[in-house]
Amino acid sequence: MAKKLEITCPPEVMESIEKHCFSELQVEVGGFLLGTHTEGVSEITVAVKAAKTKESQTQLTFTHETWDELHKLIDEKYPELELIGWYHSHPGFGVFLSDYDAFIQHSFFSGPQNVALVVDPLKGERGWFISRKEKVELLKEEKTDRDKVSTRDKASVIAQKKEAKKNATVNFGMAALSVVGLVVLAGAVWFITSDALNNKDREISDLQNQLLYLSESAPTIGKFAPVDGSERASALLNFQFQVTTEKSLSEVSMKVYGTEAGVTQILAANPTIAQDVVLQEGEVVVVPVKANFTLPELPALPTNPEPEASTSPTPTATSTPTNTPSASPSASTVPNPIPSVKKS
């Protein structure tokens, strides 16, 4: 049978350990034990607080930075000492090694000389553990040198911890449900908003098409004034049709002309587009549109013009007015095929 390990720890070293463990009752704290080892005896001479750890109510995590700081300290300040073990607090949970604690012990302190010290400041208890054959073994349990912080009995402490754990579980469940609810709600809002935005995009595109058509369909009277003096004028307009969804030229022709017979005119106005092309969303295609415009009435001429002595010619009924009206047309009509602005 293997000889039971003997552990020695001077009072001043234990005082520094308990001072650290008693300083924080809400989260776990800990550090490392340095010393020497002879046959069957581990003598602890220095306790070092662990730096750059992650502390929680139920767990103390040693990070890579923690180990780096420890080895640097040993090399620079305690080169004659070795790492004997580690210590940490269990405020209110009792003296034992959790599964995570056992993992640390087996992974980093599995030697026969290595120890783990657990201190419960609320109960005023401490215990020494070793790792033997992949199992945790309690070497000894004793009272702390400092008086325990809590005066409640063990049953009260355990009951409170169980209630806190139960509440934490319920709160976690409610939080999880709230998160799920928010995710579902966010998804619904995104779906509704996305659909609404798509509809608005289509409406805006249709309005843009209409504005483009109207802007092209409102030329100045002077430019399109007929030479014969009639009240109507016509012009061939290049309507910029903007595609909102995938469309063929036949579909564009149907949208604008109401018939597929206008594909030839569209191809003639767009020499770089093939007949079998499928237009993508956002593309613009030129669509020729023949539009008629109604002109305002011409100003009436004098019935009995007075001859003038000047050499200027006398205006007649067939003369073209010198001041062509610049007002916009009062109405406009489009002959068959009808250029219509439909939703694309």
Count of structural domains within the chain: 2
Q: What percent of the chain has pLDDT over 70?
A: 59
Asked whether the predicted pLDDT for residue 194 surpasses 70, the reply is no
Enter the DSSP assignment of 182: H
* Confidence band for 192, pLDDT divided at 50, 70 and 90: low
The pLDDT assigned to 241 comes to 86
Q: Which of 157, 180, 206 is the last residue of a domain?
A: 157
Asked whether the predicted pLDDT for residue 76 surpasses 70, the reply is yes
**CB 329 within 8 Å of CB 293:** yes
Do 257 and 122 share a domain, yes or no? no
pLDDT tens for each residue of 127-178 = 999 988 878 899 999 999 998 887 655 456 555 656 665 665 556 566 666 6
Do 143 and 235 share a domain, yes or no? no
Q: Which of 111, 139, 157 is the last residue of a domain?
A: 157
CB atoms within 10 A of CB 111: 15
The pLDDT assigned to 178 comes to 63
123, burial (CB in 10 Å: exposed 0-12, middle 13-18, buried 19+): buried
pLDDT tens for each residue of 196-232 = 666 666 666 666 666 555 555 444 333 344 444 454 5
Enter the DSSP assignment of 236: E
Q: Which of 141, 157, 173 is the last residue of a domain?
A: 157
One-letter amino acid at 175 equals A
Do 151 and 266 share a domain, yes or no? no
Do 225 and 152 share a domain, yes or no? no
Do 224 and 150 share a domain, yes or no? no
CA nearest neighbour of 60 among 104, 20, 19: 104
pLDDT tens for each residue of 305-342 = 555 554 444 444 444 444 444 444 434 444 444 444 44
Whether 271 maps to a domain, the answer reads yes
Whether 181 maps to a domain, the answer reads no
134, burial (CB in 10 Å: exposed 0-12, middle 13-18, buried 19+): exposed
Q: Which structural domain range is residue 128 located in?
A: 6-157
Asked whether the predicted pLDDT for residue 60 surpasses 90, the reply is no
Asked whether the predicted pLDDT for residue 9 surpasses 90, the reply is yes
Whether 212 maps to a domain, the answer reads no
Tokens standing for residue 278: 């499928």
pLDDT tens for each residue of 96-105 = 998 889 999 9
The pLDDT assigned to 245 comes to 81
